[in-house]
Amino acid sequence: MTAPLRRALTAPSFAAVLLGGALLGSLLLEAGCRRAPDAHPSAAAGNAAPGPTAPADTARPEAAMLDSGTVVLPDSQQRALVKNDSLWQKALRVHYRAIVFDGHADTPTLMAEEGYDIGPRHAPAEAHLDLPRMKTGGLDAVFFSIYVPSYLGEGRRAGARARRLIRVTKRQLRQYAGRAAFATSAGEVRRLARNGKRAVLLGLEGGHALAASEDTLRAFAQRGIRYVTLTHIRSHSWADAATDTLRHGGLSEKGEALVRAMNDAGVLADLSHVSDSTFYDALRVSRAPVILSHSSARALTPNARNVTDDMLRALSENDGLVMINFYDRYVQQDTTPALEDVLDHIDHAAQVAGVEHVGLGSDFDGVPRLPAGLGDATRLPWLTHGLLKRGYTEEDVYKILGGNALRVLEAAEEAATKPG
């Protein structure tokens, strides 16, 4: 979301994040997991020992979702986890073989406004994501949010802000070229992941920065933007937001034209933050799959930023993707938010929309609080363990962790080769 949110943190309000970091080597969160109703029986069997590497088998259909497979957790920690629950053998192998792809992190705002450096390792209380912790957590690829506050409007200031964040991001990636690189396609993500590098893609958060101009959209696409979040918290001249007055009843005619222009440019339409009517208008107009880069399930946590079951079913028909947000406000149910709540939202979306339409959209570095046990990027393997414990198959987990994100990115690329 915003750097001011980060600065507003207090020690008590950030307790969940600190707890998540402190629990990195712990053996908690093993109880209370539920099996999905249609779970594959073999998915809960921990029958493969972790190793330093697990090369991708290109003969298997899920090979396109796999990387070099290096397990980077310390041996002592691996042994402790497996001793507590043998399923961790499989979880470690699956997680570090998967191409893990996060749909939304607000790290560029910290980089531009607070001089944050993604090269060294930071504590969870400072930020949720950096290159060392991406490696530890097995996070291969991430969409960095080029966040433009709504108060900047649709004029020059909004565009200037977006261009600045793009420059700052690319500058740091050049600085750490041995560990990470800028990516604009699914193929580049796969190549970088298999070479042990982190892939960073760019999403423009706030369609008002386009100034209602298809030329501006194309210019941002040339700079590497690969999704546009149609609105942020405010409605604007061509689309309605979920958290503001409805001005158009969805998309205006110009908004529909801009979504089509996104299809032509190979840019995904991101429907996080938009009103329900904008959501349905975008699905009607788009000939490519759409995404929600950081939203969760409204059936579990009533919030305008989350999606209804009807929306999830419509997303499935579009072949799109909802990437589950970790923010405690969007996943909290009846108790203090914890990692299990995030798993509940993944599970619910998978049951309603289908496992092929669910991914991860952490909102790292954009929210003031995360659930206990999921305090930063190093905790991502615990999601894999939780999914396997609930009965998801290896192939299903590969899809959720990153395979589905690669699919929709490729679909956007293909749509751009067939203009409407």
Classify 240 in phi/psi space as left (phi over 0), alpha (psi -120 to 50) or beta.
beta
Asked whether residue 56 carries a pLDDT value surpassing 70, the answer given is no
Residue 275 φ/ψ region, left for φ over 0, alpha for ψ in the -120 to 50 degree band, beta for the rest: beta
Distance from chain centroid for Cα 98: 15
Q: Looking at residues 30-39, what average pLDDT do you find?
A: 33
What is the predicted pLDDT for the residue at 62? 74
Q: How far apart are CA 281 and CA 255, in angstroms?
A: 9
* Catalytic pick among 240, 363, 376, 413: 363
Told to judge if 104 belongs to the known catalytic residues of this protein, a careful annotator would answer: yes
Please write the tens of the pLDDT for every residue from 114-149.
Answer: 999 999 999 999 999 999 999 999 999 999 999 999
Q: What is the mean pLDDT of residues 410-416?
A: 97
Q: Which of 95, 128, 208, 273 is catalytic?
A: 273
128 is catalytic: no
Residues contacting residue 153 through CB under 8 Å, at least 6 positions apart: 208
Is pLDDT larger for residue 7 or for residue 331?
331
Report whether 361 contacts 321 (CB < 8 A).
no
The one catalytic residue among 208, 236, 248, 294: 294
Q: Which of 67, 130, 154, 205 is catalytic?
A: 205
What DSSP letter does each residue of 58-87 carry, written as one string?
TTSGGGGGB------S-HHHHHHHHHH-TH
State the CB neighbour count (10 A cutoff) for residue 83: 10
Phi, psi of 180 (to 5 degrees): -155, 165
Write down the catalytic residue from 62, 67, 102, 106: 106
User: H or E element: which one contains 385?
Assistant: helix 380-389
Active site residue 106: yes
CA triplet 420, 186, 93: central angle to 5 degrees? 145
The pLDDT value recorded for residue 63 is 85
Q: How many residues does the chain have?
A: 420
Confidence band, pLDDT 50/70/90 cuts, at residue 68: confident
Give one word for 10, left, alpha or beta, with left for phi > 0 and alpha for psi -120 to 50. beta
- Three-state secondary structure call for residue 109: helix
Q: Please give the domain boundaries of the chain with CATH numbers for all domains.
A: 72-416 (3.20.20.140)
Catalytic (active site) residue 205: yes
| Amino acid symbol at 213 | S
Report residue 19's pLDDT band, with 50, 70 and 90 as the boundaries: very low
**Residue 93 in contact with residue 342, Cβ under 8 Å?**
no
* Residue-by-residue DSSP string for 173-215: HHHTTTTEEE--SHHHHHHHHHTT-EEEEEEEE-GGGGTT-HH
232 is catalytic: yes
Query: Which tokens belong to 269?
Result: 């339409």
Q: Is 345 a catalytic residue?
A: no
Choose the catalytic residue: 95, 208, 232, 236: 232
pLDDT digits (tens, 9 = 90+) for 285-323: 999 999 999 999 999 999 999 999 999 999 999 999 999
